[in-house]
Amino acid sequence: MNLEDAISPGRLHIYTDILKLKQEEVLGAYNWNKALCSSMQPLLHCLEVTLRNSIDCAIRHNPPPGATGLWRTDQAWIFDLPRYIGDRAFIRQRKRYKTDVHGNILHHNGQPLYLNTVWEEECIRKVSHRIKSTGKRVTATRILSGLGFGFWTSLLSFRYEEPRNNSLLWPHLLCDVFPCKPGDIPRWVIEQKFIQIRELRNRLFHHEAIWKFHYRDPETGKSDYRRPIYGINASLQLLQTAWKDMLEALYWINPLRYTAFLSEGHQQRFTTLASRNGLLSYIKPEALHHCLDITHSQDIKTLLRDLNSKNAKTHQP
């Protein structure tokens, strides 16, 4: 059994089909992709946590005035807001609760039994179950930290917008959650930005090729997975654009966190890897010594030293 047998063919064929690499370069490029994903994870982590905390703080410190009597705006909002959204979605259609043959709502332990719930309520239920399974008490703080990026980006959708009475999040909290966004940027533009970031994040966490992009449907803005974008130059350019979009989103939320992130060195590592020379260092490291001036690049010197060390170990008898 060789190494290729441990990786599905589809994971490897894209390097020859889309990046147009030679067969002998595929495994090196596959490892390059893993390094790329590793270099992007800190920014995705930082953005997710910053978005979560910004939404939480905004609700508690500047609650929508129209929310009074509809859903709690203290720390318990994380339980109450999804419940309220579920009520809005199903109660008027009388599809919210389970009923008996006479139309009476069924109860369990004094609580009505739900027939239909919105996706966000299911997220809360799953996280609550996970917390209970570890023997811990379900608290708002534990729920907040246990919810994924998909939950937080779903709060940016039109379902949480109510401009007439300010009973929901937007537009009331837009400037609280995104204090440094350009003044004329509406909610839906922010939502689209985070949808694309979420797509990238999901590909990374499912161990897919992070450099692989697709043309977007002009009407929906969603990726058309039947139409991949070919070539290393296009892939690298789109990857670098995606990184800039994430940095911009982070700045819109918290410029101090943005500045701190840039000072941590993650930017240099990503920039070094998300380049032709970064790819070359994995598929043909010996060629990099002859074509690259590394005099002033400590990042590339370190990268080459690590690669040389790995190559030496690989060729030991």
Average pLDDT score over residue span 256-271: 95
φ and ψ at 170, to 5 degrees? -115, 145
> Cis (ω within 30 of 0) for the bond into 186?
no
More confident call, 298 vs 227: 227
Determine how many CB atoms are found less than 10 A away from the CB of residue 240.
14
Average pLDDT score over residue span 270-276: 94
Average pLDDT score over residue span 245-268: 96
Q: The whole model's pTM is what?
A: 0.86
Amino acid type, 69? G
What is the structure's pLDDT at 174? 97
Q: What angle do CA 215, 219, 224 make, to 5 degrees?
A: 30
**For strand 111-112 and strand 214-216, is the pairing parallel, antiparallel, or unpaired?**
unpaired
What is the structure's pLDDT at 176? 98
Task: List the one residue out of 63, 32, 61 whose CA is nearest residue 275.
Answer: 32
Task: List the one residue out of 292, 278, 286, 299 whose CA is nearest residue 33.
Answer: 278
Query: Is the predicted pLDDT of residue 304 greater than 70, yes or no?
Result: no
What is the structure's pLDDT at 316? 47
Cα four-point dihedral sign 74, 80, 85, 88: negative
Residue 273, SS3 per DSSP: helix
Average pLDDT score over residue span 59-87: 97
What is the share, in percent, of the chain residues with pLDDT greater than 70? 89
What is the structure's pLDDT at 286? 76
CB-based burial label for 85 (10 Å; 0-12, 13-18, 19+): buried
Query: Is the predicted pLDDT of residue 307 greater than 80, yes or no?
Result: no
Which two three-digit tokens encode residue 134? 């570890």
What is the structure's pLDDT at 314? 45
Buried b (16+ CB within 10 A) or exposed e, 2-27: eeeeeeeeeebebbeebbebeeebbb
CB-based burial label for 61 (10 Å; 0-12, 13-18, 19+): exposed
What is the structure's pLDDT at 30? 94
CA 6 to chain centre: 27
Tens of pLDDT, residue by residue over 181-235, are: 998 899 999 999 999 999 999 999 999 999 998 888 777 777 777 888 889 999 9
Tens of pLDDT, residue by residue over 112-132, are: 899 999 999 999 999 999 999
Amino acid type, 218? P
To the nearest whole number, what is the mean pLDDT of the chain? 89
Q: 16, 22 in Cβ contact below 8 A?
A: yes
What is the structure's pLDDT at 219? 73
What single-letter DSSP state applies at residue 137? P
